[in-house]
Amino acid sequence: EIMMTQSPATLSVSPGDTATLSCRASQSVGNNLAWYQQKPGQAPRLLISRASTRATGIPARFSGSGSGTEFSLTISSLQSEDFAVYYCQQYNKWPFTFGPGTKVDIK
């Protein structure tokens, strides 16, 4: 099973700042990496697939990069609605696995 780790566990950011979240896979997943955003009481929302492709309707301030085992999600000019938990997921190999999440909260 491919283990996914995310850092930091919590990121405190001021509105308008840039947040950079990291995701690491225990073995290469190519670019088969997705990022999701989850707010309390809601289902996750797909932000990024194939490591860097924004899903339909996702603002350009969300960007993904990386390949192999190292990935990052950058949120530029953080808006109030961006404070949430972010998960990465590899879908290169069964079982698909999620990272433990990074909580982005208000500084």
Partner 1 sequence: QVQLVESGGGVVQPGRSLRLSCATSGFTFSVYALHWVRQAPGKGLEWVAFISYDGNTEYYADSVKGRFTISRDNSKNTLDLHMSGLRGEDTAVYYCARSDSGPYLYWGQGTLVTVSS
Smallest gap from residue 91 Cβ to partner 1 (A): 4
CB contact at 8 A, 64 and 72 = yes
Whether the Cβ atoms of residue 2 and residue 27 lie closer than 8 Å to each other: yes
Instruction: Tell me how many degrees the CA angle 62-102-26 measures, rounded to the nearest 5.
Output: 95
Q: Say if CB 17 and CB 78 are below 8 A apart.
A: yes
- Which residue, 17 or 94, has its beta carbon nearer to partner 1? 94
**How many residues lie near partner 1 (CB under 8 A)?**
23
Question: Shortest distance, CB of residue 78 to partner 1, whole angstroms?
Answer: 22
Residues that bind partner 1 (CB under 8 A): 1, 32, 34, 36, 38, 43-46, 49, 55-56, 87, 89, 91, 94-101
